[in-house]
Structure 1
Amino acid sequence: MNNKLAKHLAMGSVLGALVTFGMASEKPNVIYILADDLGYGEVGYNGQKMIQTPELDAMAAAGMKFTAHYCGNAVCAPTRCSLMTGLHPGHAYIRANSPGYPNGQTPLPEGMETVATLAKRAGYTTAIIGKWGLGGVLEDVPNPVLNSGHPNKQGFDHFFGYLDQRKAHNYYPDHLWRNSEFVKLDNPGGAWGKGNKDYSHDLMTEEAVNWITTNKDKPMFLYLAYCIPHTHWQVPELGQYEDKDWPEEKFKIQAAMVSRMDRDIGRIKRLLEELGIAENTLIMFNSDNGAHGQGGTREFFDTTAGLKGKKRQMTEGGVRSPMLAYWPGNVPAGTSSDHISAFWDILPTLAELTGEKISGRTDGISMLPELLGKPEKQQKHNYLYWELYEGRPNCGVRMGKWKGIALDRRKGMNIELYDLEADETEQVNVAHEHPEVVERIREAMLEAHEPSPFWDKDNRPLYNAKAACALNDVNYVPRKPKAKKKK
């Protein structure tokens, strides 16, 4: 910890050590980088051998990596909701990808506390660049009416990227959004055609570089939500993987996408150094959920580092995130943390870092003592909880060394139990050997779950798209029917 930060540490009665800063210019910048569908084992610092991530590996070596940090959920929209609002999936407003809301996800309602609203109150300028997926527009045309979930209505001064998470599957879209501006792109060939020039990932990196440079003299909070390596498999060039003797072209593309993201994260790190603000900037890196595992990529690259399962599953391969934290002079270099934590801890961490109180409820616990190398002052969770309303309504609990999973809440919550200390890959269900632990986990699952206004107990949507719009007090704009393919 540097001397300037140490001078500003004060003890608070609720969250432990509270960092307060005398002047706005001394407040640390925060850059939160989120990959999309990146597996725990898809980075070199967690054992990946085939995909090269030298920039992230160097940051992990000069910072702290986390071996027990968990995503907000096992799929896109609900995990981002937990990240933004500091609520676990049993309390969060969004608990699945949209079941039919037009133009993307059911929007966050007005008045939500988010990491951005908190940062704004603390005097930060805020931006989200990349994939949002928590609401945005009523109709996907130039100059639309914004709904309550638009980033500019959830505390972000600046937005550039995708509003609709479904459109973020295509790296050569016909448009992106800059705040409420419809930004037409030079991609005449569609997703797979020739002549496309604007690769969305590259545009995001350029936007981030420009925004950081413009705001370097202000306290900054940047949420950089990259889409890599979510499919489609699209990349401008294969780079070092061009001549690899691999059985599938998509393997080369996947690797090239991840390495391209790694390259650009390194570019942002060096920009901070050039601007003289690296030692006043905390960078956190995560993935939104487990590896997508499509097309044999999980097996070929071992993207989960041997962990069981993948995206949409409550096993470790579906919810464990490859988190690292990098902050020269503050986060201890070359360290590893097994502190059990999750996305809903980011909001209270930002609160403690800035000295700004949270307005409303949170399920999180600040990770700041752990980040600063003070584990003896770090509060612990009694348990972590997830639930997901996609397919079977499954849920999971991490309680110390134990992991409990209910594959289908509709069928009496038959709980599988795993001892992660002895069986990290969740191969042996020991529920029958530890009925008292199973019962404690069952109680936690029941305690953590609150009914959602959108789903019934049998995982059926309680509304159609039109009713969803009425619930959120917006006008319903039906989707245009897809054109039938010519025979």
Structure 2
Amino acid sequence: MLSVNGCINAQSRLNTSVKPNVVFIIVDDLGPVDPGCYGGNKHKLPTPNIDRMAAEGMLFTQAYSGCCVCAPARSVLMTGKHMGHTTVRGNLGGISLLAEDVTVAEVLKNGNYKVGGFGKWGIAAIGTPGVPEKHGFDEFFGYYHQIHAHNYWTDYLWHNSRKVELKGPKGSKQRYTHHVIFERAKKFIRDNKHQPFFCYCPWTPPHGSWHIPDDDPTMAELKDKPWPKNAKVYAAMVAMVDRHLGEIFDLLKELEIDDNTVVFFCSDNGGYPAFGNFFGSNGPYRGQKTNLYEGGIRIPLIARWPGRIAAGSESDLLWYFADVMPTLADLTGTTEFMPDDIDGLSTVPTLTGRSDKQEKHEFLYWEYTRVGNWQKYTYEKNGLQQAVRMGKWKLVRLKQNVPFELYDLSKDIGEKNDLAAMYPAIVNKMATIAKQQHQEPVPQTEPPAPNGKRFI
């Protein structure tokens, strides 16, 4: 299904003498129904700029993360390889991309793009081969180790592996880091307005721990709400991210590069049911961040490119993080620099109104483990979750010593009616895919974590 409401020519062409800029914004733990354009959560938090983006671009109704938690999802996004093939597969933090891993940043960098990243890297610690400046980034400013990224008030961040001390107001040694990171991202866009650029914005909000400056405008608006304190902070963080998205659009227009900039907005995984599932951020979907039911891997995803992506359009194409590399390479004319062994497909035909030309996945694959050191698991051990999506069918199990469950998502989006006993042939086919797609990861030694709260 592809619906188009707008005056754009659905046969938009990509052949242009000017390469498009790309801004890719990925926020942390935003649930699949948190944005208003996806129906909104139980308390209908206002997201006017996310909703505006959907009205001016394309909203995907079947978009998936690469995994159900932060670090491995980013590994899939960066490498174009699904969880059975990518390097970073657990969420302990500090495990690094390998020197031989090729990232989407490297692909665009080889095509003469200026590449910057601002936020939470999460797939390498300082001093490892996986730091972003070794993988295509001209500059990266923010957190490298994901445990460090769980702190919104900190006395330092990293810029190309150099520690940057932060000085707060009245001599304080701490600052609210997202504000600092956001300003750096805007500076990068300003500084590179006359050349093609890729601005990667992996923002930590609204991930826990939940903190926001006392003078935040949304907190003042919520002061009389009879909500748990952290629920108010979460709502304010969602509003802040939405506000900053709007500021990005305003900046692109001010710089007169709006029409030549593709903006993507998504979450890194499903929502976390904090505060007693106060917001219901996963809507009708079963599960949550940390597991492979739909609530752990479904995400909001919107793409906007004025004049090229039809305003108010919607697609039910199966899309996941492994598709980011080939999609951005296709958009920017840099496909020649992609490795041959990726698992993703370009979604450019769908984005540009040519869905009849869209190549589709035979299946999507996920895996994840939280048992012990993820580097030591094997396929037979009990800690490995696995899931396969094939057309309308979803195969999933959260342990290795239990039978697979099978769901018909076209009729059962909440994964309530297990049909495995009724369709053994389909289960066997998809279980074979799951076994074939898992490859053992390269063993690494996890470096020490920095000081900070350990959230999932």
Instruction: Using structure 2 for the length normalisation, give the TM-score.
Output: 0.89
Q: Which amino acid aligns with 2:299?
A: S
* 1:457 counterpart residue number: none
* 1:88 counterpart residue number: 82
Out of 352, 355, 362, which is 1:372 matched to? 352
- The correspondence of residues 48-197 of structure 1 with structure 2, limited to 5 A, is 48=40, 49-98=43-92, 104-137=93-126, 146-186=127-167
- Is contact 1:21–1:354 with CA below 8 Å preserved after alignment? no
Structure 1 position 445, deviation (Å): 0.5
Structure 1 position 295, deviation (Å): 2.3
* 2:272 counterpart residue number: 292
Distance 1:345 1:197, change over 3 A: same
* 1:434 counterpart residue number: 423
Q: Residues of 2 paired with 1:45 and 1:221: CA distance?
A: 26
Q: Which amino acid aligns with 1:292?
A: Y
Q: Residues of 2 paired with 1:347 and 1:59: CA distance?
A: 22
* 1:472 counterpart residue number: none
* 1:347 counterpart residue number: 325
Q: Residues of 1 paired with 2:8 and 2:190: CA distance?
A: 24
Structure 1 position 333, deviation (Å): 0.7
- Is contact 2:8–2:311 with CA below 8 Å preserved after alignment? no
Q: Deviations over 1:424-450 (max 9, x none)?
A: 111111111111211121111012111
Q: Which amino acid aligns with 1:34?
A: I
Q: Residues of 1 paired with 2:332 and 2:141: CA distance?
A: 25
The SS at the match of 1:432 is coil
* 1:399 counterpart residue number: 390
Gaps of 5+ in 1: 10-18, 99-103, 138-145, 455-466, 470-476, 483-487
Q: Over aligned residues, Cα RMSD in angstroms? A: 2.2
Structure 1 position 294, deviation (Å): 2.1
Q: Residues of 2 paired with 1:148 and 1:203: CA distance?
A: 26
Q: Deviations over 1:93-128 (max 9, x none)?
A: 111113xxxxx4211111321100000111100011
Structure 1 position 159, deviation (Å): 0.6
Q: Residues of 1 paired with 2:235 and 2:342: CA distance?
A: 37
Q: Residues of 2 paired with 1:321 and 1:242: CA distance?
A: 26
Q: Which amino acid aligns with 2:61?
A: T
Q: Residues of 2 paired with 1:261 and 1:478: CA distance?
A: 31
Answer yes or no: is 1:306 the counterpart of 2:284. Answer: yes
The SS at the match of 1:430 is coil
Query: Would you identify which runs of 4 or more consecutive aligned residues in structure 1 move more than 6 Å?
Result: 479-482
Out of 205, 228, 234, which is 1:254 matched to? 234
Q: Which amino acid aligns with 2:59?
A: K
**Which fold has the larger relative contact order, with Cα–Cα distance below 8 Å and residues 6 or more apart in sequence?**
2
Structure 1 position 2, deviation (Å): 7.7
Answer yes or no: is 1:201 the counterpart of 2:178. Answer: yes
* 2:298 counterpart residue number: 320
Identity between Structure 1 and Structure 2 (%): 39
- Is contact 1:35–1:286 with CA below 8 Å preserved after alignment? yes
Answer yes or no: is 1:332 the counterpart of 2:300. Answer: no
- Is contact 2:56–2:304 with CA below 8 Å preserved after alignment? yes
- Is contact 1:46–1:322 with CA below 8 Å preserved after alignment? yes
